[in-house]
Amino acid sequence: MTSTPAPPAVKRGTPFQLPALPRLIRFALLIALDVAVFWLLNRLASLGYYPLMAAVLIITLFVNFVLIRREAYPLRWMLIGLIMMGLFTIYPIIFTVWVAFTNYGEGHLITKKQAIDQILDLTYLPSSGKAYSWTAFRSDEGDYALWLIDAEGNAYLAKPDEPLSQPQPGEMGVGPLDARGIPESIEGYRRLNQIQAATDRNLKNIKFGEEGKTIQIRSPSEAAELLPLYVYDPDLDAMINQETGVVYKNLRGTFTSPDGEALRPGFIEYVKFDNFRDFFISPALRGPLLRVVLWNFAFAFFSLLLNFSLGLFIAILFNDPDFPFKKLIRSLLIIPYTVPALITILIWRGMLNPDIGVISRLLYNTIGWSPQWFTDPWWAKIAILLVNLWLSYPYFMLICSGALQSISEEIYAAAEVDGANPWQKFWRITLPLLLVAVGPLLIASFTFNFNNFNLIYLFNAGGPPMAGTPTPAGHTDILISYVYNLAFSGSRGVNYGFASAITIIIFFIVGSITLFQFRYTRMWEEVGENA
């Protein structure tokens, strides 16, 4: 790229001294980058995206540090990965934690400033006020005049800062009236139709008529003498109704009157530990949570046991070099793994359908009985495990096949010399050595199944329902699907704050299980080394 590089003048104490030109280019690029980021930050600030702004700033500082400081040199090769991790993993986690301490959710989606602006925009028609239908006229200079007609049919001409007048055609430049009593022209002005008038965003803000009795456009069909309905008092953090004098105080993200009347809209507000408290004191916890957690563990455990057993069994069969049609059968067996789980789950749902499903019909026609796969609690659980078995055994078959290859034949030979039967060989040699290799994968699989929302939700949505619970819950609901229902069908629609809080709680549950299990794998490793 560069012409003849400078001699490798490596001085003592300053290793890796770069030649001047590439260094210059490098700095020029870095400066260009910083300028670009600075511009981006400016824009983000003007749009009010402060968390994202902070993230971009931190990343830029990090990039500068890595590229300028010599001791950070090795980090350079990780730079892009680290940036991606920051943006797509760490930033969302921080955001989730932040949301868990707010009331963010339907009913509280906008910022306080946005909500205050909206409420301050509300107007009311004072008892002495009048409402009119309006037609706009515009002069070449962009000044407006309104032709107003009140409920009794009286017509008025209104201009900003001038009292209303009632000119007849011919007076004040008013042209002849049309069928609806609106002048076809006014001297110096051009009549606009509703859409032409509405294209001016400022029109709603123009005050027509004299001071104190100003008329504003309220909607496409109405203009009226309007007064602002609310005034915000920052000291009280309250909205005061100008018509009735009622004070609406900020109560956890909603301006609420002493009578409990709430002003719409609500806004995002910090609620401290309320979401966590709500979870721990809610009927959800007193109710079916224990049963849900028990089934959650049972589901994850039995899924793992069944899937691993079948996968291992097939892998051992295929480990026999003399197995006929090995390649063909093995390819066929992998198919369930290659079909998207979403489709497989829906197909199984259809096949198990008691009235029109293939499997149910087959059973019914052959043995005259078929289980109620969706309405019986136990059969529903078995069906879920069956579907999960179908989805996951190829995975274990693959990893077990690989792991089996790594077990040395010599050990088996030695065992045979000692007179071990195949059963003993499996329990004493194959399984312990295999577990060393696949142990971490088993834990990963357990954790995955512990949170296997897709399967539970798509197959039966947690059904069939449990009877007599204080909150809706199903017999096949696992923790994540149960709290999903709780957070997204609570009283005020989707509640992200509550959902985030529960996510954090589940994170600690799953995290501690995983930690506990990794302790155990370390023990397995030691067994393996001793063996």
Partner 1 sequence: MKKLFNIISLLVVLSILLAACGTPATSTPEVEPTTAPETAAPSTAPEPTTPPPTAEPVEPIATLKIWADDTRTPILLDLADEFLAEYNVKLEVEDLGRVQDIRTPMITAAPAGEGPDIFIGVHDWLGALVESGLVAPIDLGDKQDEFVPLALEAFTYTDGKLYGVPYATENLGFFYNTELVPEPPKTWDEVLEIGRKLKAEGKIQYAFAMAGGGYENLPILTAKGGYIFGRDASGAWNPDDVGLDSEGMIAGVKFLADAVKEGLVPATADYETAHSLFETGQAAFLMAGPWALDRIRKSGVPYKVTVFPDNGAPFLGVQGFMVNAFSENILLAQTFLTEYVATEEFMQKIYEAGLRPSAFKSVLARMDDPDLVAMGEAGANAMPMPNIPEMGSVWSAWNNGIALATSGEQTPEEAMKDAANQVRALILGALAGMVNLPGSYQDKVGCGAQWDPACQATAMQKGDDGLYYLTVTLPAGDYEFKVALDGAWTVNYGSDGAQDGPNYALKVEKDGKVTFIYNPETHLVEVKFE
Record the tokens describing residue 165, joined without a space.
Answer: 């007048």
Q: How far is 218 from 203, CA to CA, in rounded Å? A: 10
Binding mask 118-147 toward partner 1 (x if CB under 8 A, else -) reads: x--------------x----x-xxx-----
Beta bridge partners of 239: 232, 248
Least separation in angstroms between residue 222's CB and partner 1 is: 6
User: With CB under 8 A as the contact rule, which of the stretches 101-109, 159-167, 405-413, 523-531 interacts with partner 1?
Assistant: 101-109
Give me the amino acid identity at 200. D
Instruction: Report how far Cα 518 is from the mean position of its chain's Cα atoms.
Output: 30
Of 90, 169, 204, 378, the one binding partner 1 by CB under 8 A: 204
Contact call for residue 108 and partner 1 (CB under 8 A) = yes
Cβ closer to partner 1: 247 or 441?
247
Binding mask 332-351 toward partner 1 (x if CB under 8 A, else -) reads: ------------------x-
Contact call for residue 152 and partner 1 (CB under 8 A) = no
Contact call for residue 181 and partner 1 (CB under 8 A) = no
Of 103, 135, 241, 256, the one binding partner 1 by CB under 8 A: 256
Contact call for residue 64 and partner 1 (CB under 8 A) = no
Q: Residue 102 carries which DSSP code? A: B
Record the tokens describing residue 464, joined without a space.
Answer: 């069939």
Contact call for residue 159 and partner 1 (CB under 8 A) = no
**Number of Cβ within a 10 Å radius of residue 107:** 18
Least separation in angstroms between residue 457's CB and partner 1 is: 12
By CB under 8 A, what part of segment 277-296 binds partner 1? 277-279, 281-283
Q: Residue 184 carries which DSSP code? A: S
Contact call for residue 371 and partner 1 (CB under 8 A) = no
Report in angstroms the alpha-carbon separations of 147 from 66, 97, 164, 170.
67, 55, 10, 15
Q: What are phi and psi of 322, to 5 degrees?
A: -90, 5
Q: How far is 163 from 210, CA to CA, in rounded Å? A: 5
Record the tokens describing residue 30, joined without a space.
Answer: 């870095």
Contact call for residue 354 and partner 1 (CB under 8 A) = yes
The sign of the CA dihedral 277, 279, 283, 287 is: negative
Contact call for residue 25 and partner 1 (CB under 8 A) = yes
User: With CB under 8 A as the contact rule, which of the stretches 172-180, 264-272, 326-334, 398-406 interacts with partner 1?
Assistant: 264-272
Contact call for residue 51 and partner 1 (CB under 8 A) = no
The site that binds partner 1 (CB under 8 A) totals a number of residues, namely: 106
By CB under 8 A, what part of segment 443-472 binds partner 1? 463-465, 467-472
Q: Can you point out the beta strands (E) in 315-390?
A: none
Q: How far is 67 from 365, CA to CA, in rounded Å? A: 73
Beta bridge partners of 297: none
